[in-house]
Amino acid sequence: MKNNFTLTLIKVFLTLLILSSALWQTARLSKENALAELEQEGRHQLSLYISHLQGRLDKFESLPELLATNKRLAYQLQHPQDREGAEALSRDLEKINQISGAADTYLMNSGGLTVAASNWQSERPFVGRNFSYRPYFREAMEGRLGRYFALGSTSQRRGYYFAYPVRHQQQTLGVVVIKFDISQIEQDWSLSDDRFLVTDPDGVIFITTEGDWRFKSLQPLSTQAKDRIRAGLRYVDTEIEPLALSTVESIGTAIRIVELGPEEGRRFLMLEHEMPEAGWKVHILTSYKTVSGQMRRSLLLVLSLFTVLLLPALYLNQRRRRLLERAEFARRAKRDLELRVRERTQELTESNTRLSSEIEEHRQTGKALQQTQDELIQAAKMAVVGQMATGISHELNQPLAAIRSYADNSRALLQRERKEEACWNLQQISQLTERMATISSQLKLFARKTSGQLVSVSLPAAIDYSLKILAPRIKEVSAEVRLQLPQQEIFLQADMVQLEQVFVNLISNALHAVEEGEQRIIEISGSQREHLFHMAIRDSGCGIEEAHLKRLFDPFFTTKSESSGLGLGLSISHRIVEGMGGTLEAKNHPEGGAVFILEMPLAAAPEGN
Ligand code: ADP
């Protein structure tokens, strides 16, 4: 999980790295391209502009030299007192000025005083004024073509001056000057998209297509420079402020990206070119917008391309991840299932083992219980036998005494040879031994162990047998046993020995109950109820105490003396009956005495009956 996250982070990081480097490269290349194009275009425009400027200058450059050849100029300088001549010259100069399209044409003497001027008729004519402080004058006086550009001190118009020496026989007499208005140049180019500016050697903007920039310096001027400019009166008394132009980036010496303000539209590519003869530096400022635009377009293109390429890649990656996740999920589900199955199998095996051992334990317990039960039954039987011991001994002693007297009689009779009588006595002996054999066999039968098998058992036979066993006791108590059973033979689903034991127990208890009473009646009645046979063994005893009713079937509950009762009879009978699928209950009869209700499942008559 953590590894996956790290891997995704690395992928995102790499993608971003590739994207940013692609964008950076694109930006760089597109900027270089756009700049190269812009530079080319700028250079072209700049060269056109310079040609235009040069053309303008060229037009007037040779004019002073041509004028200086006119003898009248030298004459006038040699004859300053000739006022008429001066006026005529001024008039001629006015005409020449008109024809050439110059702003002013004038003649100065060697002291710098204007002696004739084309504007002799204007409000502020040059005639009589001294311009010796102008550098062009000095240059011309030194014998070369003087050039200068300045704001006209009188006209307040920007002009370019060409001055040429007027000579006579190797002597410089004065200077002829032609001044032309350069504001015209600005007008010619004002419609261009590009911004042009021409600066003087101090970097002061002198000609520009942007009116606001005029007389501003490209960089802040030092105080000395300012003082020098003020002294030279080039810009009369105009205060030179720096133009708020900052360089963003310099590309080579003559190319830079400049900014005029924070807005994007005020960023330019600036190219410059020297015009050494004129003392000018010409600059072109081309809008940087195209570069930004081209960069934006290229970046957009790269971004789109990247998106187009990245989207399918992302989709494929996503799909691959989903497939992997699904496979992982299936793998995990399978593993979980296997684990659960293994755990469940383990649990089942354990519980199976547990169950097996519990079953074995139960079987052992059952076996032990069965054994205990059998032993208990046996013990109870023996108890009954013990109870009956007096009756039995009485029962056996009587015939034994009779046998003895019959034997004595037989011997005496045989001695007297009374054979017939002796034979009768012997017959009685034989009958008595038969009766004793019956008694002992019945006791033997009763004492035998149960088989535990449920079979079809005849109810009357079982009752009959029980009564036979108890016959000595019945006789002893002098009880009357009344039988009220259906006519037809009844068969019960039972174990013969156990059923007989139940009857022996119940009747024996009843005998005990009636023993002391005046009436000694035991009533055994029965009737069929659906698949059950319902029996009531009622006695005329004094019944069972209400408090004893609940505990009657508890083992070892007895009200009898230790010698005569163990308290096992009813508890064993109850278990035997339940074991055979029947019920045994006890209650008191409303008319007195106890009633034991026994219900047993009926059975079909055994085969061969
Ligand atoms: P025991 O006969 O050894 O006492 P039983 O389980 O057979 O043991 O009987 C338990 C007790 O139930 C007897 O002690 C007696 O108090 C009472 N009982 C049983 N049968 C009767 C009956 N028919 N009438 C009155 N009481 C009875």
User: Which residues make Cβ contacts (< 8 Å) with residue 50, sequence separation at least 6?
Assistant: 273, 275, 282
Residue located via tokens 């300012």: 226
What integer pLDDT is reported at residue 189 of this predicted model? 73
- How many CB atoms sit inside 10 A of residue 98's CB? 11
What is the distance in A from the centroid of ligand 1 to the CA of 558? Answer: 6
Q: Which two tokens stand for residue 436?
A: 């004793």
509 CA → ligand 1 middle, Å: 5
Q: Whose CA is nearest to atom 13 of ligand 1?
A: 558
The alpha carbon of 119 and the centre of ligand 1 are apart by a number of angstroms equal to 170
* Contact by Cβ (8 Å): 572, 380: yes
Task: Give the residue with greater pLDDT, 19 vs 173.
Answer: 173
Residues 299-310: tens digit of each pLDDT: 888 888 888 888
Using the mean position of ligand 1's atoms as its centre, give its distance from the Cα of residue 543 in Å.
10
Residue located nearest, by CA, to atom 11 of ligand 1 = 558
Ligand 1 mean position, distance from CA 172 (Å): 178
Residue of higher predicted confidence among 397 and 308: 308
Taking the CA of residue 466 as centre, how many other CA atoms within 13 Å lie in the half-sphere pointing to its CB? 26
Ligand 1 atom closest to 537 (CA): 23
What was the pLDDT predicted at 234?
A: 81
User: What's the 505 CA to ligand 1 centre distance in angstroms?
Assistant: 9
Q: Which atom of ligand 1 is nearest to the CA of 513?
A: 24
Please report the atom of ligand 1 found closest to the CA of residue 571.
6
Kindly report the CA angle at 330 between 324 and 331, in degrees rounded to 5? 85
| Environment class of 258 (CB within 10 Å of its CB; exposed 0-12, middle 13-18, buried 19+) | buried
Alpha carbon of 105 to ligand 1 centroid (Å): 169
Q: What is the mean pLDDT of residues 119-146?
A: 91
Match 């259906």 to its residue by tokens: 486
What percent helix, strand, coil does the chain show, rounded to 5?
Answer: 55, 20, 25
Smallest Cα–Cα separation from 209: which of 159, 103, 277, 284?
A: 284
pLDDT at 78 over 90: yes
**pLDDT band, residue 586 (cuts 50/70/90):** very high
With 60 as the cut, is the pLDDT of residue 388 above it? no
Q: Higher-confidence residue: 170 or 598?
A: 598
Express each pLDDT in 421-436 by its tens digit.
999 999 989 888 877 7
Our mutation pick for probing the ligand 1 site, out of 387, 558, 561, 598, counting the most ligand atoms within 8 A of Cβ, is 558
Percent of the chain with pLDDT over 70: 92
- Which of ligand 1's atoms lies nearest the C-alpha of 566? 3
Q: Cβ neighbours of residue 457 under 8 Å, at least 6 residues apart? A: 491, 492, 493, 494, 495, 496, 499, 603
Pick the residue whose CA is nearest to atom 21 on ligand 1.
Answer: 509
pLDDT at res. 372: 74
Nearest-CA neighbor of 598 among 609, 583, 578, 588? 583
Q: Degrees (nearest 5) of the Cα angle 278, 282, 283?
A: 170
| Backbone dihedral region for residue 247 (phi beyond 0: left; psi -120 to 50: alpha; all else: beta) | beta
Higher model confidence: residue 564 or residue 92? 92
* Structure confidence at residue 579 (pLDDT): 86
Give yes or no for residue 391 having a pLDDT over 60.
no
pLDDT score for 331: 93
- Ligand 1 atom with least separation from CA of 553: 6
Question: Is pLDDT of 374 > 90?
Answer: no
CB-based pocket (< 6 A), ligand 1: 505, 509-510, 513, 539, 541, 544, 552, 557-560, 565-570, 594
Query: Comparing 233-237, 283-287, 420-424, 444-448, which segment has the lowest mean pLDDT?
Result: 444-448
* Mean pLDDT of the region 489-513: 92
Cβ proximity of 519 and 526 under 8 Å: no
pLDDT, tens only, 31-71:
888 888 888 888 898 898 889 888 888 889 999 999 999 99
The per-residue pLDDT for 96 is: 93
Phi, psi of 353 (to 5 degrees): -60, -45
> What are 537-582's pLDDT values in tens digits?
999 999 999 999 999 988 778 888 766 677 778 888 888 899 899 9
Average pLDDT, the chain: 86
Residue 396 has pLDDT above 90, yes or no: no
d(CA 166, CA 71): 9
Ligand 1: which of 376, 570, 597 to mutate, most ligand atoms within 8 Å of CB?
570
